[in-house]
Amino acid sequence: MWGGRFAAGPAAIMQEINASIGVDKRMWREDIEGSRAHAAMLAAQNIISADDAAAIDAGLAEIAAEWETGPIEEDLALEDIHMHVEARLKEKIGDAAGRLHTARSRNDQVATDLRLWVRGAIDRLDAGLTAFQSALLMRAEEHAASVMPGFTHLQTAQPVTLGHHLMAYVEMIRRDRGRFADARARLNESPLGAAALAGTGFAIDRQMTSERLGFDRPTANSLDAVSDRDFALEFLTCCLQAGLHLSRLSEEVVIWASQPWSFVKLPDEYSTGSSIMPQKRNPDAAELVRAKAGLFMGALTRLATVMKGLPLAYSKDMQEDKAPVFEAYDTLALALAAMTGMVDGLAFDTDRMKAAASAGHSTATDLADWLVREAGVPFRQAHHITGRAVAEAERRSAMLADLPLDVLTGIDERIDERVYDVLSVDASVASRTSFGGTAPDQVRARIVDARKDVK
């Protein structure tokens, strides 16, 4: 390929470290797609003949058909997917294959291929994220009125509904989809035609190749076009954020499935047993998804470290850009599929969740709010009064709703029998009617909104 400059070939170890075909062969579809667009443009601009362009296009189509059904024969001497395509094309059509690389470089070629690949990966991940959202929405609707404890600091705080809790993750995934969509819009510029770094003297039509490949426009600066990997870093950032959300839900599933809690029973299909303890049902799917957040962090750090000190334009360091991108995509796609299946199959013990919501004086805030609303007590004073009521309930090993009225009026004479209307967990949940609150009607309304967004 570049042997004219050198008297001897590369050492075996140099050949091995230099070759990237083991990784970048994954982009063969994108490479062929970009090459067909480039050849068509060269012919339209009279840079190569129509006959050569037709032969190139037919040969590339044959190669694509071959590789759809069989593996690529890897040759380290050909280094990468670009040269494997060109070498196979030469075997098919002869010297005309050598005209394909006119007015381009592997620098703009690989930048184009990777953008195309990441764009497709985002579209596939969006489908996975949408399926996960749909699973959460289905379970949230099923449990729009199922009461459970809401937590801060992992301590019982206020009653909420399970539907409301699950809808929090729907919102997280909505933001994840938005981040990926934003990243896709930013990356959708074509580097093809930037050549090695300075553009080309051939009268190419970059708008034509950009449109054919589905890009919004060509990149505006040839140096930036070949050296930019912002889009890959942004993709990894999006993967990390989505992975963190999956990890948080996984952690909750692990906690909820443990025997001291027993809020949920895991489906057999997403559990494992123990080699020594026959009673075990381990939440391994959730634990493994939880662990994958570290992989996304590592992938982002890995590529950021590669890029952090590179001068313009292309450096061979950038050959290391693809492995973390591919690994992050594979891992997130798998994690999404696992979490979607697990959410579909979770069996919630709603009686136990409601009982847990009743413990820990979770309606204390409702008592304070009642004092403000019905008795005109300033909130800070109501907070203090409620604290005394909680202390008395703890002394009696009772719940707030079980305290006799004379005990409550002894704490503050402004309390009357109407207070019992707000001290149950059902009343507490039903009262949270502010937009985005946990009241079942609010949860159902947000589910309707979210379904529109998912569609």
Active site residue ranges: 153, 274
CA distances to 369, 374, 430 from 437, in Å: 16, 21, 9
- Identify which of 109, 19, 121, 120 has the alpha carbon closest to the alpha carbon of residue 72: 19
CB 265 within 8 A of CB 275: no
**Sequence letter at residue 5:** R
Count the Cβ atoms, other than its own, within 10 Å of residue 315.
Answer: 13
What is the C-alpha separation between 321 and 302, in angstroms, rounded?
A: 9
HSE-up (13 A, CA, CB side) for residue 2: 6
- What's the rounded Cα separation, in Å, for the pair 91 and 274? 55
The rounded Cα 401 to chain-centroid distance in angstroms is: 44
Based on the number of CB atoms within 10 Å of its own CB, is 349 exposed (0-12), middle (13-18) or buried (19 or more)? middle
Asked whether the beta carbons of 381 and 392 are under 8 A apart, the reply is no
Distance from C-alpha of 455 to C-alpha of 448, rounded to nearest angstrom: 11
Burial (CB < 10 A; 0-12, 13-18, 19+), residue 389, is buried
Residue 217: CB atoms within 10 A of its CB come to 12
Judged by DSSP in three states, 422 sits in: coil
